[in-house]
């Protein structure tokens, strides 16, 4: 298939595919006319990249998954390097969750303080809304 068809099937743009090619994540073959050609394996690689990016992975973090698929494994996360990326990402996410919980606690404390300082006491809360 040609680059436009691959882009459409993968839900991306030809510009993105050329960028992935420049980064070594996608390898185009050329036909006799010099047009880029791709196959189902390339579509599979792109779907892996898109799935990971939709989950918050940076483009470079997708490389081990792509390389794992290229090596013939049935899934992009069937290789130790891919598992290492998962572990690092989970560590990053855990740290972000901790930061958000700390910010939430601070905002909740500020709300309680502000409500306590209101003339006449805190506003009544709606039983249905919490």
Q: What is the mean pLDDT of residues 41-67?
A: 95
Give the C-alpha separation, 3 to 18, whole Å: 9
Tokens of 47: 């779907």
Give the C-alpha separation, 14 to 19, whole Å: 9
pLDDT at 109 over 80: yes
Residue 130's pLDDT is what? 52
Buried b / exposed e across 58-90, counting CB within 10 Å, b at 16+?
Answer: eeebbbbbbbbbeeeeeebbebeebeebeeebe
What is the average pLDDT value for the chain, to the nearest integer? 92
Give the C-alpha separation, 16 to 13, whole Å: 5
Among candidate residues 85, 92, 56, the one with its CA nearest the CA of residue 68: 85
pLDDT band at 51 (very low <50, low <70, confident <90, very high): very high
Q: How far is CA 123 from CA 13, 111, 112, 115, in A?
A: 52, 11, 11, 7
Class level of CATH domain 3-116: mainly alpha
pTM: 0.77
Among candidate residues 113, 114, 110, the one with its CA nearest the CA of residue 102: 110
Least confident interval from 26-40, 52-66, 86-100: 26-40
* Bridge partners, residue 37, by sequence: 2, 29
């Amino acid at each position: 298939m040609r680059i436009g068809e691959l882009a459409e099937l993968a839900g991306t743009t030809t510009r993105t595919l050329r960028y992935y090619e420049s980064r070594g994540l996608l390898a185009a073959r050329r036909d006799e006319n010099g047009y880029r050609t791709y196959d189902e394996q390339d579509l599979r690689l792109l779907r892996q990249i898109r799935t990971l990016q939709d989950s918050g992975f940076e483009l470079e973090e997708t490389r081990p998954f792509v390389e794992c698929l290229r090596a013939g494994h049935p899934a992009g996360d069937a290789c130790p390097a891919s598992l290492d990326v998962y572990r690092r990402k989970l560590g990053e996410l855990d740290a972000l969750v901790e930061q958000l919980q700390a910010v939430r606690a601070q905002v909740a404390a500020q709300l309680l303080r502000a409500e306590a300082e209101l003339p006449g006491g805190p506003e009544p809360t709606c039983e249905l809304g919490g």
